[in-house]
Amino acid sequence: MYIVVNGGGKVASYLAKTLLERNHNVALIEKREDIAHKLAGELPGSPLIVRGDGCDAAYQEDAGVGRADVFVAATGDDDDNLVSCQLAKVAFGVPRTVARVNNPKNEHIFNALGIEAISSTTIISRMIEEEATVGDIHTLSALRKGDMAIVEVTLPVDRCVVCGKKVVDLDLPADCILIALMRGDEVITVHGDTEMQPGDTVIAFTAVEREKTLKKALTGE
């Protein structure tokens, strides 16, 4: 597939690297000259990197958005992600647009406009590559308004109450499943013998009413 990623920060660059390693064709749009130069030297396969504003049609055209199978907006600004996805959909007719949502309160806006909104890099990459997973993700997104939710909890660096313990030994609330850990640039699938480390971001599937209990169980707060 041909995938255009708007953004060059940690999330966008990790996603681009993952997709390139899986033999997809990837282009990036990044407005900061130093970051664009850094990405050119770090990413495998010498992907196309366009230095410019991903919310500008001219730069999207330079990146070949018109022939893209998927457009991903992964900047740290929800407004930019929304505008760039809308531009890709309306001006270039991209069949799928996926956006990183930094503020969960904005998720319904993206969904209302037909943009697949998600906060986990791992889930984004799976959504792009595995059509079967997309249905599941949409179901979870819909359930977010009802009984279940996908949540992220970042473990404290100091006085981590669960670090060094196996997941199977943790006292987690009912109706809660730990899906993955994000540790720096690494994504770790959670098993019973998985041990968490300070600063890990935990991705979990949980009943909405258990969210606060889950956070307390993982962070002590």
Strands (E), 131-211: 148-154, 176-183, 186-189, 201-207
Whole-number Å distance between alpha carbons of 86 and 203 = 28
Q: What is the DSSP letter of 208?
A: G
92: left (phi over 0), alpha (psi -120 to 50) or beta: alpha
Predicted confidence at residue 120, as pLDDT, reads 53
Residue 139 CA to residue 70 CA, distance in Å, equals 20
Q: Which tokens in the block code for residue 151?
A: 């949540």
The CA radius of gyration of the chain, in Å to the nearest whole number, is: 18
pLDDT in tens, the chain (221 residues): 999 999 998 888 888 888 898 889 999 999 999 999 999 999 998 899 999 999 999 999 999 999 999 999 999 888 999 999 999 999 999 999 999 887 777 878 888 888 988 765 445 555 555 543 444 443 344 444 456 677 778 888 888 999 988 988 888 887 788 878 888 767 787 888 889 999 988 888 777 778 888 888 998 87
Whole-model pTM over 0.75? no
Alpha helices (H) along the chain:
10-21, 33-42, 57-62, 78-92, 107-112, 121-129, 131-143, 211-219
Residue 148's pLDDT is what? 65
Of 64, 66, 57, which is closest to residue 26 (Cα–Cα)? 64
Question: Cα separation of 86 and 81, whole Å?
Answer: 9
- Which residue type does 140 have? L
